Structure 1
C-alpha cells in the first residue's frame, strides 16, 4: 500500500507467472472511492490494507470499470465489510452483477454522466473492454486530473508504486486491438480520449503514468 499521487492510495499484487501487476486504488475523501476489488484472493489481501487506509472512515463507492474477475471478483467480500458502499458501473456490468445476487447496492452510470461531491468530480467515459466487447466505463477525476485507465493502458512487469513519465497523446495513439478489438470502437474511444487533458494515469496494470 502506498500513496501514489496526491490523496490516491495504490494497492498492488504482482503475479510472476504472467509477469503482471494488478492494482486497486482508493481515492481518499469524505465519501471515499475504491477503484476495483481485485479477484477474490487479491481482495482478501486488499481488505486489511483498505481498512488501514480508511482509518475508520466509511467507504462510499466501489468503481468497477467492466465485468471481469480482477475488477470485481472480490466485490461480495468488500461489501460484506463495507455494507454501505455502492458499486458504480455500467448498465451491462450491473446486469452481470445481478446474476450473482448483487442488485441493491449498484449505481448505474452512463457515459458522460458524473458523480460529484465536495471533494471530487468523477466523469464516466464509454469503454468497450476486450471482455466480449461489453460496454464498460473509464473514469476521470476532473479536479485532480486522474484518469483510471483499467485495462486500456498497461505494461508488463513488477510495478508496485512505480511511475513513469509519458505523453497523453502517445498513450492514446498506442491503444491496440488487444485492448479494444473493434476498430470503429477503438477509433471512437481514441477521439474521445484525445479531447481530455489528464495529468496522471492510474493504470490497472503496470506503472502509472505522469503526464
Structure 2
C-alpha cells in the first residue's frame, strides 16, 4: 500500500505500509532546484518507490539522496537510486560518509558536519549530528530552516497505518510502540544514554513546526514540547533504571 501526501511545502511523504510488520516505512521527497529524497528505502521497495517518485518528478533530475544512519530502510536501495539518477549524490554525516559510504556507495557521498548546510535551491537543510539517537554512531538529522521541518528518522516511531499528518498528540502511540518493542525478539533498538536528553533538547531549541517521521504519522504542532516529552518516554521505556527494575525480584 503506497500513499503520497504533501506534509509541508514541497515535502512529499511517500508511505509504504507493511502489514506483516504492522508498520509504515516513510520516505520524503523534496521538490526544489536540486530535489532530494530523504530515506532511500529498502531494496525490495525500490520498484514501488521509483514509481511513486516518478509520479511527482523525473527520476533523472534527483540530485540528493539523504538519510540519518546506515540501515536498510534508510539507505538499502541507495545504489539503485544512484544508478537511475546520474547526478544524484548520497548525503549523510561525515562519519557515515567515511565509515560506510566509502565502501557501500557506487560513488562518493557528501558528508555533513555539525551545523553544515545543504542548499537545494530555495530551501536550506542544517545538519545536526545525533550519535546513537535513534541508533548508530553515524546518526544525524536534517532541519529545513524556512518552513522548520525536522526530518527525525526513527524518533517518534508509531506502529500501525496512521494518517499522513496529524495535529493530535502522538506521544501515547510512541510510548506503546516502544513498550511493544521491549517485548519483541529485538528489544532495545534505541538506546537511552546520558546524552539523549541534551540532544533532544537541542532539537527542541530549533522550534520545528513539522516532524517528518519515518514510521507512523508525521506531526504538526508544538514540536518542541513533543521532543522534550519524548525524553521522558524514552527514559521510562528504554532507560537503565527501567531495565533494572524489571530484573529486580518482587518484594513480598
Q: Does 1:207 align with 2:211?
A: no
Q: Contact (CA 8 Å) 1:12, 1:23: kept in 2 or not?
A: yes
Higher RCO by CA contacts (8 Å cutoff, separation 6 or greater)? 1
Q: Contact (CA 8 Å) 1:66, 1:89: kept in 2 or not?
A: yes
Aligned counterpart, 1:162: 164
SS in 1 for 2:63: strand
Which runs of no fewer than 5 residues in structure 2 stay unpaired? 183-187, 222-252
Aligned counterpart, 1:146: 149
Cα deviation for residue 43 of structure 1 reads 1.7
Runs of 4+ in 1 over 3 A off after TM superposition: 129-133, 176-180
Aligned counterpart, 1:59: 62
Cα deviation for residue 163 of structure 1 reads 1.5
Query: Which structure has the bigger radius of gyration?
Result: 2
Counterparts in 2 of 1:18 and 1:56: CA distance versus 1, 3 Å = closer
Instruction: Report the Cα distance in structure 1 between the residues aligned to 2:11 and 2:135, rounded to whole angstroms.
Output: 30
Deviations 1:148-187 (A, max 9, x none): 010112211113x52221579x79xx7x795741422212
Q: Contact (CA 8 Å) 1:68, 1:131: kept in 2 or not?
A: no
TM-score (norm 2): 0.74
Higher strand share: 1
SS in 2 for 1:54: coil
Counterparts in 2 of 1:36 and 1:183: CA distance versus 1, 3 Å = same
Aligned counterpart, 2:201: 191
Which runs of no fewer than 5 residues in structure 1 stay unpaired? none
Counterparts in 2 of 1:117 and 1:6: CA distance versus 1, 3 Å = closer
Instruction: Report the Cα distance in structure 1 between the residues aligned to 2:63 and 2:100, rounded to whole angstroms.
Output: 21
Counterparts in 2 of 1:110 and 1:89: CA distance versus 1, 3 Å = same
Pick the aligned partner of 2:38 from 35, 43, 46.
Answer: 35
Q: Contact (CA 8 Å) 2:40, 2:77: kept in 1 or not?
A: yes
Instruction: Report the Cα distance in structure 2 between the residues aligned to 1:196 and 1:71, rounded to whole angstroms.
Output: 23
SS in 1 for 2:114: coil
TM-score (norm 1): 0.87
Aligned counterpart, 1:81: 84
Q: How many residue pairs align between the two structures?
A: 206
